[in-house]
Structures are given as C-alpha cells and as structure tokens.
Amino acid sequence: MPKLTYLGHSAFLIEGNAGSVVIDPFLSGNPLAVTKPEELAVDAVLLTHGHGDHIGDGLEIAKNNSALVVAPFELANYCAERGAQVHPMHIGGAHNFPFGRVKLTIAHHGSCAPDGTYTGNPCGFLLTMDDKILYHPGDTALFYDMKLIGDMNPIDVAVLPIGDNFTMGIDDAVKAAELLHPKLVIPMHYKTFEVIDVEPGEFVAKVRDQGLESRVVGIGEAVEY
C-alpha cells in the first residue's frame, strides 16, 4: 500500500514497496513547506513542468540522492545540462521503472524554467506503485479527456489543483473529479500565493456532493492508499 505525504503546493512524496519518488518538490521557496529538500530520500524526481513552483528543489534533490529526473523531453534535457541523471519521456508514453510505472498525460498550461529557458509542453502523471494508481495532473485547465483518463485507469487517488488563476478553480476541479471518478480526491495548488488563496474545505464538500470521497491533507500529513 503506497504512502503519500503532502509536501505543500503540488509537491508529494510517494513511498511504495519498490521505492520512493517525489513529484514537483517546491520546498525551500515555499514558506508553508515543513520538509527540507535534504530530508528527502528518493529514487526519482518527477517534474510536470519547468515553472519555479514545480521544478523547485528538484535538481538538488536528484543530485543528493543520485535519483533520476523523470520529465518531458525538453525539461529532462534542461536538468541533464545542469548535472542531473534523467529519463526523458513525452506525453502519451509510459515506462516501467524499478519503483513503478509512469505515464505522461496532457496538461493545458505553459512550461519554462525559472531562467526563462523554454521547457516544452507541461504534463501530468499517472503513477502506478504497488498496483495502486495516483493521478497528478500538474498545473492544468479542466479538459474533457480527463474522462478518458478516468475511464481507462481505475484511479485510486487524484490530487487536483484548485487554486484558480493559474489552474482549475474549485468548480472546474469538481468537474475534473467527476470525470476521473477516483476512489479519493485530494486538493493541491492553493493558498501558497495570495492569488490562489481558496478554501480546500469548499472543494472537498462539493466533491462529496458528487458521491466521491475527498479530504484535505495537511502539509506534512501522510495518507496510505
């Protein structure tokens, strides 16, 4: 049974029987984060796109752990040029790693590194560990293909951005939950900045109204799924 720990913003540590990964580890730049990058022991760093609030401390964590950066091709190359071991992928592709299976999904958003380097298309991740499926859509708008993702994959947990302005807001994320119909829905990408200061409790209540299980996971809190 994999364990997910919310590290704040869009960052999650996922620990399974065959290894651990961190997704979008924005820690030292996030005043709400309670975990330091050097505290993480992981086999891979999964990055959805190059924006500073997602690539975060990813390069440092990858180097500290000799961990693989798994990211869309252009972003993986950007990380390789900065000394990380990488496994480039692209949207629609899946690969079996020792720690689990990763498939890249579409995301409607942008992607450049903090220094302005263009880092290709952003992505989401379907991550299968211990036969459980986690869907992390990255930063994205609502899109109807989420129905296809949900129909083709029995998702155990979906973490969804709800903060509005840069991504889906609450009502669009509730519709996303409906299309994905996962066993558990967890909100992310809210409150970190003033412009995304929305109430996760409102989201959770609206998802539950759709007959789906949802809960707020606090920063530093862990959930098994």
The footprint of Mn ion (CB under 5 A) covers 53, 139
CB of 67 to Mn ion, least distance (A): 22
Applying CB under 5 A, the span of 38-46, 49-57, 99-107, 112-120 interacting with Ni ion comes to 49-57
List of long-range contacts for 162-166, beta carbons under 8 Å, 24+ apart = 162/187, 162/188, 162/189, 162/190, 162/198, 162/200, 162/203, 163/189, 163/190, 163/191, 163/192, 163/193, 163/195, 163/196, 163/197, 163/198, 164/196, 164/198, 165/195, 165/196, 166/109, 166/139, 166/195, 166/196
CB of 111 to Mn ion, least distance (A): 10
For Mn ion, the closer CB: 53 or 74: 53
Three-state DSSP at 106 gives: strand
Residue 51 lies near Ni ion (rule: CB under 5 A): yes
* Size of the residue set binding Ni ion (CB under 5 A): 2
For Mn ion, the closer CB: 53 or 57: 53
CB of 113 to Mn ion, least distance (A): 13
Residue 139 lies near Ni ion (rule: CB under 5 A): yes
